[in-house]
Chain A
Amino acid sequence: MPRMTIRTPPGRTLTPVAPRRTETDPLVLQPGTIAPGRARPAAPLRREGPAKLTGEAKYADDLVFPGAWYGATIRSTDAHARFDGIDLDPALDWSAIAVVTAADIPGENIVSLVSDDQPVLVPVGGEIQHQAEPLVLLAAADRETLRHARRGVTIRSTPLSPVFDPRLSDHVFAHFDIASGDLERGFAEADLVIEGEYRVGHQEQLYIENNAMIAVPREDGGVAVHGSLQCPYYIHKALKRALRLTDEQARVVQAETGGGFGGKEEYPSIIALHAALLARKTGKPVRMIYDRHEDLSATTKRHPAIVSHRTGVKADGTLVAQEIDVVMDGGAYCTLTPVVLSRGAIHAGGPYRCPNVRIRARATRTNTPPNGAFRGFGAPQVEFAAEVQIGRIADALGMSPLDIRRRNLYRVGDETPTGQVLRESVAAEEVLERAAEAAEFEGVRTRTERARARRAGSGSVPGSPLRTGADRTASGIGLALAWHGAGFTGSGEVKLASVASVELGADGRIRVLTASTEMGQGTKTIFPQLVAAELGVAVDDVDIAPQDTALVPDSGPTVASRTAMVVGGLLIKAARRLREVVEERNGGRPFADVHRADAAAHGPTRIDQQFEPYPHVHFDDETYRGDAYPAFGWAACVVSVSVDLDSGEVTVRDVVAADDVGRVIHPVLAEGQVEGGTLQAIGYATIEEIKLRDGRYLNDRLATYIIPTSLDAPRITTLLVEAPFSGAPHGAKGVGELPMDVGAPAVVAAIRDATGVWIHELPASPERILAALGVTAEPPGQAPAADTVRAALDEPIEAGTDPRPDAPTDPQPMRGPRDPGEPS
């Protein structure tokens, strides 16, 4: 068993780690200097940074294609209906307008993805499944004509009855059942059984650049699309199928991409198909540029979920049984739902050892726009539930949130519910201790607890037990811990068989060829860095080929935080082979000394490196047993908040985030990922909410879907922890998604610390907080009171005789001991 090396060991005696650079002038980071707390010399500057900072960088809407037409999508306004037909206003001159319907699709009317259920356009006579479903496409030479044309289209439909509650839907996209140990025995051993139901709603990725795609007809009858996208080869495949094109006829080129976060993983395929169909019809380039309203109302969101927990614990806090039920709302089409659900199911128990587990997860269809990928990919939903549950257990036992986690967190050698033995790279304890120490968690918590006790009941303001005449706000500190499987789930990576290449060109320059896209996370900076280090050359000697399917191999989609770990690993191996070939040809002299002469003498040398399964990593898709991920990343987050007891408003003041990323490749970029992901998680926890009516998003504008501004954003302190993964040549495990899993439950725990109440549904909006505090009635749509604490104890628990110290203020009633007639 390889021993784990943690390069930044926990030390309770250490002073809190300084996460910031301490050089007097941070602009002068000398190459080769080691920044404090860092394992690497100063990293290179962002490769495409200067272009972005001068306005030179070309995003999709910045690209000019002479003679291009403008495209538009006519969508359904029914949530569920039969599509009976289209009427075109006879008063309009339609000769200057291109109209495309499903009948114009030369190939299969399918948006190619996991399942083949989503049409490119609903055919007349077909079924409309959601309110933003594309039915007809239009294009015109100018925007004014297009605007008139849009008004000239009338859709005829016959309404059908819609389903909006995922629990009532009988159309199941996927279900998973994970079991280990003996659940009945586990509950029998438990001193306390605690139940809880948790809910999360939609969340929009809200990249600041809207979706955009431009299709340009090719002379060979094919089409080239240029756009804002994460996964060139997803689109390539979709184009080939629906437009019946060859590999060469379909070409996909990534423009500079203004954020993705999963939102440009699969949705761009449908936009590319629409633009391509219009380009085919008109013979012109067609620009399909969404405005914010269309992007918000039609594109994929994070899956809403309802998660129920029933947990058995011993009096000392040891978990002995977890029964978890997850229901996710897939929306109208399958998209990536089975994969999202699978990740959700595997992570549902949280980063805790428990011998007896049963996790049942299902995702169903509703008549709402399809949900899809968003940073975290199923994990943030279930880990919110798992962390609030563990926090409530700690409360019930009178334990500190830190101690209950210390007792149960995964350590090397532990087994997960899929039977995966965690052989290495387990940093749960490390991140927890580092974050708690840096935030002085226990000390602050003791103070906030005292403050709460002092104020409880002294409230002079009716209805608000903590509100005193002098003090309107209450402060609290909260903690959460999370794990995140690195790379694709199960055998995904093996099936994908990605290829990445490194080439020594005839000009002596080195070129990296991958389809991995840059959307802000730093792909274009770290790839040359990894390759240069392996070859012993300067970073500037390494170029990166454009993400263009005509030029680069399929290195897989840019998702699942797999870019640094998987594709980066392939590049290091390719570079290693390239170095060996060149050095052997040159009498063993170092690559850096001979590569230019070698190129001149031998011409270009290209190494294609294909993914090979990680050793000792096996997963069985049939039984859902085995190594669900080659390794896990670990994250802890401590949040301090203040809550306005009159308005219910939460201010997140400070965050300390400790994230184990395996190996830090580029500290500034890695911190940037943690900070950005943390703020998205805070938005998820506090203000981001989609309201629906009849299957339509009501707040589908940026004025009504609110994300955090610089004033809402707390100071975020990032601690990067390194517990390398031996299967990747550089040890990196990825960083993008980790912070998204852990922020929201930490905020909710901090609200609990401030106010004494647990919020069971995200976002923890003012209405929900006031309702939980008993100041106002439950807001409509609040989860039914389904929570119970059942003390199956013959003897009262020793520490803190009342196992339910917070019972009076928990928004959902807790009962115990168990009623004799109650189903167990």
Chain B
Amino acid sequence: MGEWRFAVNGEAVEVEAPGMRRLLDILREDLGLTGTKEGCGEGECGACTVLVDGAPVDSCLVPVCQVEGARIATVEGLATTSSEGPVLDRLQEAFLEMGGAQCGICTPGMLMAARSYLDSGGGPDEVAIREAIAGNLCRCTGYTKIVEAIAVAAGGPG
């Protein structure tokens, strides 16, 4: 057992857990943030993608001891809240409009990978977008509408 301190979506958290406990389980089970999904548990599908200090990682492969002091961003932190409920960010909105989410199970990971791409200055170029999400499997969409949505969020014409 150890005590780990880090920030999730801008809020400081402190958890007591074995150092090898997966970040994915810490988020989902200890912190109740079930937006992050598990599709394979071995780094192949990207459904568990979160950002650690801005970089996308497969949270199923990251032990909690490695995120001590880090800033973690999950899908729950993308939208902002208003008196009328959550307000989607531009990327989420683009996914909604363009049809980037079907069954939605890959979506949280996909959004985080895309967020990181956009935050690091990625533009609406199709090839670059495809590379940025190459670690995130989607079985529903054929990726076309996901790529379009990210391009729109990046300021492209769609």
Which of A27, A51, A208, A701 has a CB less than 8 Å from the CB of B137?
A208
Report A593 CB to chain B, min CB distance, Å. 28
**Which residues of A come within 8 Å of B, CB atoms?**
20-21, 24-27, 29, 45-46, 48-59, 61-62, 64, 205-210, 256-261, 291-292, 519-522, 668-669, 671-672, 675-680, 701-703, 707, 709-711, 713, 715-716
What B residues does A678 contact at CB under 8 A? 142
Given contacts A676-B102, A713-B144, A715-B144, whether A54 and B86 have CB atoms under 8 Å apart is yes
Which of A24, A45, A209, A260 has a CB less than 8 Å from the CB of B157?
A24
What B residues does A672 contact at CB under 8 A? 99, 102, 140-142, 145
In the assembly, what is the distance between CA of A483 and CA of B129, in Å? Answer: 34
In the assembly, what is the distance between CA of A717 and CA of B135, in Å? Answer: 23
What B residues does A59 contact at CB under 8 A? 34, 37, 105
What A residues does B75 contact at CB under 8 A? 53-55
What B residues does A64 contact at CB under 8 A? 32
18 interchain pairs (CB within 8 A)?
A: A26-B152, A27-B94, A27-B152, A48-B104, A55-B35, A58-B34, A208-B106, A208-B138, A210-B39, A259-B102, A292-B40, A519-B103, A668-B98, A668-B99, A675-B143, A702-B39, A703-B44, A709-B135
Contact B145–A209 (Cβ < 8 Å): no
Residue of B nearest to A718 (CB): B144
Contact A54–B76 (Cβ < 8 Å): yes
In the assembly, what is the distance between CA of A27 and CA of B94, in Å? Answer: 7
What A residues does B52 contact at CB under 8 A? none
In the assembly, what is the distance between CA of A27 and CA of B42, in Å? Answer: 36
Residue of B nearest to A705 (CB): B44
What B residues does A48 contact at CB under 8 A? 104
Given contacts A26-B98, A675-B144, A676-B140, whether A711 and B134 have CB atoms under 8 Å apart is yes
What A residues does B47 contact at CB under 8 A? 208
Given contacts A710-B146, A710-B147, whether A521 and B97 have CB atoms under 8 Å apart is no
In the assembly, what is the distance between CA of A293 and CA of B90, in Å? Answer: 36
In the assembly, what is the distance between CA of A48 and CA of B86, in Å? Answer: 14
Contact B139–A208 (Cβ < 8 Å): yes
Report B155 CB to chain A, min CB distance, Å. 11
What B residues does A677 contact at CB under 8 A? 142
Contact B76–A55 (Cβ < 8 Å): yes
Report A288 CB to chain B, min CB distance, Å. 15
In the assembly, what is the distance between CA of A45 and CA of B97, in Å? Answer: 6
Residue of A nearest to B77 (CB): A55
Q: Does B13 contact A (CB under 8 A)?
A: no
Given contacts A208-B103, A256-B104, A675-B145, whether A53 and B42 have CB atoms under 8 Å apart is no
Residue of A nearest to B149 (CB): A26
Residue of A nearest to B25 (CB): A143
Q: Does B84 contact A (CB under 8 A)?
A: no
Q: Does B49 contact A (CB under 8 A)?
A: no
Seed contacts A59-B37, A679-B142; 17 additional CB < 8 Å A-B pairs = A26-B152, A26-B157, A54-B75, A56-B35, A207-B103, A258-B104, A258-B106, A259-B140, A261-B139, A520-B102, A522-B102, A669-B99, A672-B99, A672-B140, A701-B40, A702-B40, A710-B129
In the assembly, what is the distance between CA of A344 and CA of B92, in Å? Answer: 41
Q: Does B101 contact A (CB under 8 A)?
A: yes
**In the complex, the 6 A-B pairs of residues with the closest C-beta atoms, listed nearest first:** A55-B35, A258-B105, A520-B103, A52-B104, A520-B102, A675-B142
Mask for B76-112, Cβ within 8 A of A = 1, else 0?
Answer: 1011000000101000111111110111111110010
In this complex, the member of B37, B142, B147, B158 whose beta carbon has the largest number of chain A beta carbons within 10 angstroms is B142
Contact A50–B105 (Cβ < 8 Å): no
Contact B157–A707 (Cβ < 8 Å): no
Report B125 CB to chain A, min CB distance, Å. 13
What A residues does B143 contact at CB under 8 A? 675, 679, 710, 713
Given contacts A27-B97, A208-B45, whether A713 and B92 have CB atoms under 8 Å apart is no
Residue of B nearest to A228 (CB): B105
In the assembly, what is the distance between CA of A607 and CA of B95, in Å? Answer: 36
Contact B107–A52 (Cβ < 8 Å): yes
In the assembly, what is the distance between CA of A701 and CA of B136, in Å? Answer: 16
Which of A54, A209, A669 has a CB less than 8 Å from the CB of B37?
A209
Residue of A nearest to B41 (CB): A291
Mask for B111-127, Cβ within 8 A of A = 1, else 0?
Answer: 10000000000000010
In the assembly, what is the distance between CA of A625 and CA of B138, in Å? Answer: 41
What A residues does B103 contact at CB under 8 A? 207-209, 257-260, 519-520
What B residues does A676 contact at CB under 8 A? 102, 139-142
Report B130 CB to chain A, min CB distance, Å. 4
Which of A54, A292, A520 has a CB less than 8 Å from the CB of B78?
A54
Mask for B27-64, Cβ within 8 A of A = 1, else 0?
Answer: 01000111111111110110100000000000000000
Contact B137–A52 (Cβ < 8 Å): no
In the assembly, what is the distance between CA of A520 and CA of B139, in Å? Answer: 10
In this complex, the member of B44, B93, B98 whose beta carbon has the largest number of chain A beta carbons within 10 angstroms is B44
Which of A21, A49, A205 has a CB less than 8 Å from the CB of B158?
A21
User: Majority SS of interface residues in chain A?
Assistant: loop
In the assembly, what is the distance between CA of A51 and CA of B45, in Å? Answer: 21
Report B86 CB to chain A, min CB distance, Å. 5
What B residues does A209 contact at CB under 8 A? 37, 39, 103, 105
Residue of B nearest to A55 (CB): B35
Residue of B nearest to A256 (CB): B104
Residue of B nearest to A666 (CB): B99
In the assembly, what is the distance between CA of A709 and CA of B28, in Å? Answer: 26
In the assembly, what is the distance between CA of A677 and CA of B45, in Å? Answer: 19
Q: Does B133 contact A (CB under 8 A)?
A: yes
In this complex, the member of A24, A519, A672, A677 whose beta carbon has the largest number of chain B beta carbons within 10 angstroms is A672
Report B153 CB to chain A, min CB distance, Å. 10
In the assembly, what is the distance between CA of A45 and CA of B94, in Å? Answer: 11
What B residues does A210 contact at CB under 8 A? 39
Report B137 CB to chain A, min CB distance, Å. 6
In the assembly, what is the distance between CA of A49 and CA of B93, in Å? Answer: 10
Report B135 CB to chain A, min CB distance, Å. 8
In the assembly, what is the distance between CA of A702 and CA of B60, in Å? Answer: 14
Contact B98–A710 (Cβ < 8 Å): no
What A residues does B33 contact at CB under 8 A? 55
In the assembly, what is the distance between CA of A678 and CA of B103, in Å? Answer: 16
Residue of B nearest to A675 (CB): B142
Which of A45, A291, A519, A522 has a CB less than 8 Å from the CB of B96?
A45
In the assembly, what is the distance between CA of A50 and CA of B96, in Å? Answer: 7
Contact A520–B42 (Cβ < 8 Å): no
Residue of A nearest to B102 (CB): A520
What B residues does A521 contact at CB under 8 A? 102
Which of A205, A711, A716 has a CB less than 8 Å from the CB of B131?
A711
Contact B142–A207 (Cβ < 8 Å): no
What A residues does B79 contact at CB under 8 A? 53-54
What A residues does B130 contact at CB under 8 A? 710-711, 713
What B residues does A710 contact at CB under 8 A? 129-131, 133-134, 136, 138, 143, 146-147
What A residues does B102 contact at CB under 8 A? 259, 520-522, 672, 676
Contact B76–A53 (Cβ < 8 Å): no
Residue of B nearest to A207 (CB): B139
Residue of A nearest to B132 (CB): A710
Contact A53–B105 (Cβ < 8 Å): no
Report A22 CB to chain B, min CB distance, Å. 9
In the assembly, what is the distance between CA of A701 and CA of B92, in Å? Answer: 31
Report B113 CB to chain A, min CB distance, Å. 10
Report B33 CB to chain A, min CB distance, Å. 7
Contact B99–A520 (Cβ < 8 Å): no
Report A803 CB to chain B, min CB distance, Å. 39
Which of B36, B101, B131 has a CB less than 8 Å from the CB of A52?
B101
Report A438 CB to chain B, min CB distance, Å. 15
